[in-house]
Amino acid sequence: MTHDKKRVVVLGGGVIGLCSAYYALKRGLPVTVIEREAAGGDNCSMGNAGMIVPSHFIPLAAPGMISKGLRWMFNAESPFYIRPRLDPALVRWAWLFYRHSNERHVEESRKLLRDLNLESRRLFAELSEEDDFGLVKRGMLMLCKTAKGLDEESAVAVAAREIGIQAEVLNAAATAKLDPGITMDVTGSVHFPQDCHLDPARFMSAMRRRVLALGGEIRSGVEIDTIESRDGKVVALSGGGQRFTGDQFVLACGSWSAELLRQTGLKLPLQAGKGYSLTLPEPPELPECCSIFVEAKVAITPMGGSLRFAGTMEVGGLDLTVDPARVRGIVKSVNGYFPKFSERNFEGVKPWAGLRPVSPDGLPYLGPAPRFPNLIVATGHAMMGLSLGPVSGRVVADMLTHEKPFRPVEQMAAGRF
């Protein structure tokens, strides 16, 4: 095949970049991965909640999100915050988010998100046959403290079943029976049996090993600042005194993607949504299922013997500074749902922060840059980066080899705005 010798350069060593490299290598393409961090360093793919979520078929831009966001804006410990700043890119992003927060957009997006997450789940299961990265297929519980929260999640369960996603509404007793290892103080829950969880650090290590085993090259600690183009094609990426030439390029550098893409003339609406996590190495109790505190918007994932709590969406530029108030918001919420836990359990636990790339319509960007067909954009996955890693990587490989993806993906076009 003619594509066999076309060299691929992947910019980004997170989950999307590594999965893209892996599936491209499987097609026989030579691949070099460039990553900003030192080898195996910390990126947004490492400290996340590690969830695979077919349950997340409603995009972030959905009815009610604007009013919720405005309510939370003035609470320093709330799950969502946009730091006000005079930035035309932020204004444009916010306007587009507002334009897409409607029922029609949810209706148009939900089957795409369902298909992507279910196919990714299948690929995770396939990958786990050769590597143990802690994949657990016990579903996820949406834990509801209030009757109102349970009513809202029950409506989501109905919508899920309409499009073929399994969902079961449980009362408090049935919830406790499903996961008896953890004491819960909830009104009820919705169980999504197809959801899974894993240890993201172990998964990332496994994917690095796979990329190297297939003959891929990983160049770490390199900060790329220039996209070189000629005659309507990208010819090289350079930065830090290094230059990488290739035939095809994949831009999968998360929240930093938009800044680089300006050099191609593409003004990609993308904001960095900072999230935090805290991992208890010896929790007082250990659940078997992953879960989300519905009202507090905190995700909880068992990883081996440890327990990770993750949350918040703080839109404030490319800033990884830890805001103690946001971390406090996560910690304070825990005792309300898990009464055997107290704030003392979190003393001395260092919070982790990562930047998630957020598109204004809640869908990823997955497709060629409009003016440069040999540059594929793969970013904007927000809180589903880990969940959509394998399927995104395989779709990228399809695009690199001009093969038809498993389903139409035009909704995720990089130039859709």
Query: Alpha-carbon distance 20 to 249, whole Å?
Result: 11
**For the segment 199-249, what is each residue's pLDDT rounded down to a tens digit?**
999 999 999 999 999 999 999 999 999 999 999 999 999 998 999 999 999
Residue 38: band (very low, low, confident or very high) from pLDDT cuts 50, 70, 90: confident
pLDDT at site 42: 60
Query: Alpha-carbon distance 122 to 207, whole Å?
Result: 16
- Which residues does 135 contact at the CB level (< 8 Å), separation at least 6? 124, 125, 128, 196, 197, 198
pLDDT at site 44: 63
- Does 72 or 330 have the greater pLDDT score? 330
Q: Between β-strands 365-369 and 372-379, what pairing exists: parallel, antiparallel or unpaired?
A: antiparallel
Query: Alpha-carbon distance 363 to 381, whole Å?
Result: 7
The residue among 386, 391, 385, 358 whose CA lies nearest residue 93 is: 358
pLDDT at site 78: 77
Are 342 and 350 in contact by the 8 Å Cβ rule? The answer is no
pLDDT at site 75: 73
pLDDT at site 83: 79
Does residue 43 have a pLDDT over 70? no
- Share the mean pLDDT of the chain: 94
pLDDT at site 232: 93
